[in-house]
Amino acid sequence: MHFGVFDLFKIGVGPSSSHTVGPMKAARIFVERCLADGASVARLKTELYGSLALTGLGHGTDTAVLLGLEGSDPAKINPDTIPDRLARIRSEKTLKLANGQQIAFEEKADLDFRGDVRLPFHSNALKFFAYDQHGDVVREEIWYSIGGGFVIDEHEAGRNSAADVKEGEPFPFNSAAELLEIGEREGLSIHRIMLANERTFLPEDTIRAGIEGLWRAMEDCIDRGLTEDGVLPGGLGVKRRAPKMHRDILANPVSPEQDPLAPMDWINLWAMAVNEENAAGGRVVTAPTNGAAGIIPAVARYFDKYHRDPDDEEALQRFFLTAAAIGSLYKKNASISGAEAGCQGEVGVACSMAAAALAAAMGANNHQIEDAAEIGMEHNLGLTCDPVGGLVQIPCIERNAIGAIKAIDAARLALRATSADMKVSLDQVIETMRQTGEDMQEKYKETSKGGLAVNVVYC
């Protein structure tokens, strides 16, 4: 099964890829199927289970479902239009379907949060019902939002694969060991292997343009986060810190000669700017999730500002293709879902991807890239997902800043390492991460029932 760069990096809206982007996609597809079948739809009902129910209100799942039922695409929706659309749905108590039809919608009855129910396949589950004018069910489906904006329905879950599986690439790999073996056999770097596989499904010009588009979207998100003041939604009263930090740094510039750690202030700032935008429901790029969306952009900008040779036009292509190769290993062999693996599956995976990407961009060989990815995850093992108030704010925003710094440190350690220094493989740490996620108590998996979520007073 091929997971490519545009599977792991997707433009969407905050605050959560699994709780916002995924449910919006699932709701849209369900209604599209109803309309394609010619079903007479007079009412739509959605039930949310497990983590989606427990932290859904804080993660914008209610918003996502309503907009998805109306046909919105998370990659295309304008975040600025969302408040007015929600106000209209709730005041008029109607949904406008994609075919122009309007149906009655009573939110308390038609959107049911069932936090007491967890379906076996995945904690992030939804069930949609479509009724005709007589109150009879004309279609019902169970969907799972499995992390990073990926969604599958119950039939795909039964096969344990999505319907649109992509196969046929020249260098398939399901482990880091296979990836390294291909590199040695073919004389290819990791990003070249990934590019060759991507070319099976898209022209190279399209791939390169797509990566440039992702990078522009990430940079736009950073820049918005540096200027948008205010308090983040949700009731915690968390103020956006990035704009003030930005003004303070510009007003009191410090050179690396004066303070060798001064670049860390910028890295922290860029990561936090992205995740404050995410918490506000802005446009972000899953990397590989929304909750961890600030790490890879911050590390990429750090490379771009401090290390990139202006003549090296391939550097950012190497960065993102390598990140995607590493991310695909976690997607295939463990998880990128906080509801399944805790925050090690989000911030941990993003840190691992960013470390590998930075090492590659700075000229590391394949073994050093693998080592960077391994170090990035090894020191995030066991990281829990315990958002205060069910919001993607505390500890999520600062956690991205710390994750970005860890990724840079991991890359620097790997660049100075030799094969003799590498005692733990990436495959071993991915398997450890999977086992740790299975062993982790459910309350630490995006339920807000443990950790900081119960020890920080939320009024």
Determine what percent of the chain is predicted with pLDDT higher than 90: 92
**Does position 440 have pLDDT exceeding 60, yes or no?**
yes
Cα of first residue to Cα of last residue in the chain, in angstroms, is 46
Stretch 172-185: mean pLDDT:
98
CA-based angle 12:201:152, to the nearest 5?
50
Q: What is the average per-residue pLDDT within 69-86?
A: 95
pLDDT > 70? residue 159: no
Q: Is the dihedral of CA 210, 211, 213, 218 positive or negative?
A: positive
pLDDT value at residue 257: 85
What does the longest C-alpha to C-alpha distance in the chain come to?
A: 75
Q: pLDDT band for position 164 (50/70/90)? A: low
Q: Across the chain, what does the average pLDDT equal?
A: 95
pLDDT at 459 exceeding the cut of 70: no
Is pLDDT of 458 > 80?
Answer: no
On whether the CB atoms of residues 336 and 148 are closer than 8 A, the answer is: yes
Name the amino acid, one letter, at 312.
D
Q: What percentage of the chain has pLDDT greater than the value 70?
A: 98
Retrieve residue 180's tokens.
């390294």
pLDDT computed for residue 320 by the predictor: 98
In angstroms, the CA 339 to CA 125 distance is 11
What is the DSSP code string of 277-308?
A: HHHTT-EEE-SS-STTTTHHHHHHHHHHHHT-
pLDDT band of 226, cuts 50, 70, 90:
very high
> Nearest to residue 349, comparing CAs of 328, 327, 374, 382?
327
Say if CB 308 and CB 315 are below 8 A apart.
yes
Q: What SS3 class is residue 60? A: coil
Q: How many helices (H) and strands (E) does the chain have?
A: 20, 9
Burial, 376: exposed, middle or buried (Cβ in 10 Å; 0-12, 13-18, 19+)? buried
- How far is 236 from 367, CA to CA, in rounded Å? 44
Q: Which two tokens stand for residue 80?
A: 């600025």
Nearest residue to 139 (alpha-carbon basis) of 289, 26, 30, 12: 30
Res. 313: pLDDT tops 90: no
Q: How confident is the model at residue 165 (pLDDT cuts 50, 70, 90)?
A: low
Please give the average per-residue pLDDT across 161-166, as a whole number.
57
Q: Is 322 in contact with 369 (CB distance < 8 Å)? A: yes
Residues 404-425: what's their mean pLDDT?
93
H or E segment at 416? none
CB-count burial class (<10 Å; 0-12, 13-18, 19+) for 237: exposed
- List for the chain the helix, strand, coil content (%; round to 5): 55, 10, 35
Q: Which two tokens stand for residue 128?
A: 């949609």
Query: Looking at the predicted structure, is the pLDDT value of residue 166 above 80?
Result: no
Q: How far apart are CA 7 and CA 324, in angstroms?
A: 9
Q: Strand runs (DSSP E) across 274-426, as ranges? A: 283-285
How wide is the angle at C-alpha 149 spanned by C-alphas 147 and 153, nearest 5°? Answer: 80
Under 8 Å between Cβ of 343 and 384: yes
DSSP code, position 240: P
Beta strands in 257-370 (DSSP E): 283-285
pTM: 0.94
